[in-house]
């Protein structure tokens, strides 16, 4: 029998309301609180508790305050990754952000895919879908939905809602985000 955390990590349907996952979210809240309230000269590029919580973060990665995440343990940040103020990563799934990528203010990344059946959704049934952001990506602001991959060198215009994967080097804008390339 798999735990809800194991099911979450495997991308299976799981219940997000149990004690094990709640304890992990509480731990993340303390790390985020420390990051968001420490003076910048004490916080450094990433608050100490948050740095320990993340799956991985290059020494040159930088997260502005305020920042929020669900668990932290599913987030990987490459070299020179920059997250501007107000970024939120709901990381029930794996979130990887490649080297040199920049996220503008207020970028939200969502991994939770809630069940469509209302009875199951009321019971906290969801699945985690990874969000993968390549190298040298610029996200001006907006929302990245579960299961999206953004290819190397792509640009996401401010205010966009990215519902589908973005090809390397493409520029997408709008709600839903669409390529600016003429077909």
Catalytic residues, by residue number, are 114
From 109, 112, 113, 106, select the one nearest 96 (Cα to Cα): 109
Q: CB of 41 within 8 A of CB of 71? A: no
Separation between Cα atoms, residue 56 and residue 84, nearest integer Å: 18
């Amino acid at each position: 029998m798999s735990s809800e955390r194991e099911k979450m990590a495997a991308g299976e349907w799981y219940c997000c309301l149990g004690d094990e996952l709640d304890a992990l979210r509480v731990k993340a809240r303390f790390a985020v609180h420390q990051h968001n309230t420490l003076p910048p000269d004490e916080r450094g590029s990433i608050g100490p508790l948050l740095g320990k919580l993340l799956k991985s973060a290059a020494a040159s990665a930088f997260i502005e305050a305020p920042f929020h995440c669900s668990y932290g343990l599913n987030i990987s940040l490459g070299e020179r990754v920059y997250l501007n103020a107000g970024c939120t990563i709901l990381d029930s799934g794996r979130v990887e952000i490649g080297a040199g990528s920049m996220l503008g203010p207020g970028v939200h990344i969502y991994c939770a895919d809630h069940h469509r059946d209302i009875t199951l959704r009321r019971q906290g049934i969801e699945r985690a879908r990874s969000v993968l952001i390549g190298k040298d990506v610029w996200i001006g602001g907006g929302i990245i939905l579960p299961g999206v991959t953004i290819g190397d060198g792509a640009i996401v215009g401010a205010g966009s809602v990215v519902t589908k994967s973005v090809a390397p080097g493409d520029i997408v804008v709008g709600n839903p985000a669409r390529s600016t390339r003429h077909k």
